């Protein structure tokens, strides 16, 4: 071979093989595809969702609330499965609010962050008793006016743009000039204004970044968050009723990535919680996680439609692609394209004896699910599995592109 293979990301542990095939919830990939009516198909595993939450609860102090960030995966059966496992839901649009309403959820357990909330979204959220994480002074005043008009007390928290970010996070969402949150030094004045206006004061939301794999960086960030929250509360002159400490727990997508050490994070948090300042002693403390809770629970299955050679390289062309798995193609917030974990699902235990690039069916060279991957030799009709597909897959990809349409989804 003249070209060198590129490593694949680590396949999440615990996948079974049945009759030589990848199996999820005891069913082979081909059986799942047949049941669902075809490919492309996202399969999410109940057991993985449940197991992940149990492991995380075990690692974290009991006092810590754990919320689910709906944008990671809003598939209704997934939300229904998560509802009894988490303490609340975090949403980032009025559309997500309507998804939760339609699912019959208790909307008082919901908080709503995100810039650019329109009046109609503020109104729907306030009327439903959702906590608003306010992103600006302007938004705060609009929320107060809308609540006034509705004759209700709005539940209002301020999202803080802290003066620090999270080291090593894949996507930074705090520190410096940002469209998120209110700059930390202006938060006390706004907090006092909300309290004086008679709002239902719900404290602070401090979110600094996503996809961090370093426990040390998260521990440091959480310590900074607690210090900043205390400083702001003291300046406001009232203890905080609630502090959403953010999240950012990452998952291993790429070669060399390792699972985050959540027990180290939990131990450090327990220490912090044992010596909280007065301003935080009685606060409801929580984190909000998306991909960490659901990312590893999903597999994207797509069928090989063609196998071809070009200049000595092999291409496996599938009926899926970046229109369902934008992140795996390397076009969703990554600088350098690297391979996600990928396997030939119906040859899961076969020896690796081939090198091929797995591509999608779109007319763009960006549509690549695996680049020069070492895989068992695969043929037309075989199923490709892309792992780590439980978060930012179906709804974070341009499924209307080229008239392809959405993938199937199932919770197994
Ligand atoms: C996107 C987002 C999350 C979830 O991020 P993950 O990386 O999936 O955990 C949580 N909170 C806020 C405010 C977000 O914007």
What pLDDT shows up at residue 175? Answer: 72
Taking only the tens place, the pLDDT of each residue in 265-317 is 999 999 999 999 999 999 999 999 999 999 999 999 999 999 999 999 999 99
288 Cα nearest atom in ligand 1: 10
Distance 249 CA to ligand 1 centre (A): 9
Q: Determine contact, residues 327/398, Cβ cutoff 8 Å.
A: no
Write down the pLDDT at residue 169: 73
Distance CA(90)–CA(247), nearest Å, equals 11
Residue whose structure tokens are 């727990």 = 249
**Low-confidence residues in the chain, pLDDT < 70:** 1, 173-174
Ligand 1 binding site (Cβ under 6 Å of any ligand atom): 69, 71-72, 90, 92, 113, 207, 210-211, 247, 288-292, 391
Q: The tokens 């590893």 sit on which residue?
A: 296
Its pTM surpasses 0.85: yes
What's residue 355's pLDDT?
A: 98
Tens of pLDDT, residue by residue over 228-269, are 999 999 999 999 999 999 999 999 999 999 999 999 999 999
pLDDT at 168: 72
Residue of 135, 210, 291, 333 with the most ligand 1 atoms within 8 Å of its CB, for mutation: 210
Instruction: Give the per-residue pLDDT at 323.
Output: 97
CA of 222 to the centre of ligand 1 (A): 15
CA-proximal residue: ligand 1, atom 6 (nearest) = 290
Do 21 and 29 touch, CB atoms closer than 8 A? yes
Q: Are strands 21-24 and 27-28 parallel, antiparallel or unpaired?
A: antiparallel
Phi, psi of 356 (to 5 degrees): -150, 155
pLDDT, position 402: 96
Residue whose CA lies nearest to ligand 1 atom number 2: 69
CA of 288 to the centre of ligand 1 (A): 7
In three-state form (DSSP H/G/I as H, E/B as E, the rest C), the secondary structure along the chain is CCCCCCCCCCCCCCCEEECCEEEECCEEHHHHHHHHCCCCEEEECHHHHHHHHHHHHHHCCCCCEEEEEHHHCCCHHHHHHHCCCCCEEEECCHHHHHHHHHCCCCHHHEEECCCCCCHHHHHHHHHHCCEEEECCHHHHHHHHHHHHHHCCCCEEEEEEECCCCCCCCCEECCCCCCCCCEEHHHHHHHHHHHHHCCCEEEEEECCCEECECCHHHHHHHHHHHHHHHHHHHHHHCCCCCEEECCCCECCCCCCCCCCCCHHHHHHHHHHHHHCCCHHHHCCEEEEEECHHHHHHHEEEEEEEEEEEEECCEEEEEECCCCCCCCCCCCCCCCCCCCCCCEEEHHHCCCCCCEEEEEECCCCCCCCEEEEEEEECCCCCCCEEEECCCCCCCHHHCCCCHHHCCCCEEEEC
Ligand 1 centroid to residue 87 C-alpha, Å:
16
């Amino acid at each position: 071979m003249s070209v060198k293979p590129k490593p694949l990301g680590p396949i999440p542990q615990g996948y079974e093989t049945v009759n030589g095939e990848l199996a999820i919830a005891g069913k082979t990939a081909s059986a799942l595809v047949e049941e669902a009516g075809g490919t492309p198909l996202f399969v999410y595993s109940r057991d993985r969702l449940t197991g992940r939450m149990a492991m995380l609860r075990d690692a974290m102090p009991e006092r810590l609330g754990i919320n689910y960030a709906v944008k990671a995966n809003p598939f209704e059966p997934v939300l229904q499965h998560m509802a009894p496992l988490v303490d609340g839901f975090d949403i980032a649009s009025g559309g997500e609010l309507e998804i939760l309403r339609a699912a019959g959820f208790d909307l008082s357990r919901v908080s709503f962050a995100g810039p650019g909330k329109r009046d109609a979204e503020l109104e729907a959220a306030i009327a439903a008793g959702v906590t608003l994480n306010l992103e600006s002074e302007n938004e705060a005043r609009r929320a107060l006016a809308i609540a006034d008009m509705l004759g209700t007390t709005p539940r209002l928290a301020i999202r803080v743009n802290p003066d620090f970010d999270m080291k090593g996070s894949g996507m930074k969402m705090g520190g410096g000039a940002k469209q998120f949150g209110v700059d930390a030094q202006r938060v006390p004045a706004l907090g006092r204004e909300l309290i004086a206006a008679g709002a239902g004061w719900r404290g602070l939301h401090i979110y600094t970044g996503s996809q961090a794999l370093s426990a040390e960086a998260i521990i440091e960030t959480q310590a900074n968050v607690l210090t900043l929250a205390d400083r702001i509360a003291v300046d406001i002159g009232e203890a905080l009723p609630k502090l959403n400490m953010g999240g950012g727990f990452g998952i291993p997508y790429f070669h060399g990535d390792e699972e985050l050490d959540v027990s180290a994070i939990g131990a450090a948090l327990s220490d912090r919680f044992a010596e909280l300042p007065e301003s935080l002693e009685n606060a409801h403390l929580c984190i909000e996680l998306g991909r960490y809770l659901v990312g590893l629970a999903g597999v994207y299955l797509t069928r090989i439609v063609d196998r071809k050679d070009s200049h000595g390289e092999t291409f496996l062309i599938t009926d899926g692609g970046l229109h369902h798995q934008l992140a795996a193609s390397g076009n969703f917030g990554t600088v350098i394209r690297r391979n996600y974990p990928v396997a030939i699902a119906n040859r899961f235990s076969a020896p690796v004896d081939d090198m091929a690039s797995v591509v999608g069916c779109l007319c763009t060279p960006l549509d690549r699910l695996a680049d020069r991957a070492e895989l068992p030799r695969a043929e037309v009709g075989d199923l490709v599995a892309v792992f780590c597909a439980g978060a930012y897959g179906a709804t974070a990809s341009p499924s209307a592109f080229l008239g392809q349409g959405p993938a199937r989804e199932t919770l197994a």
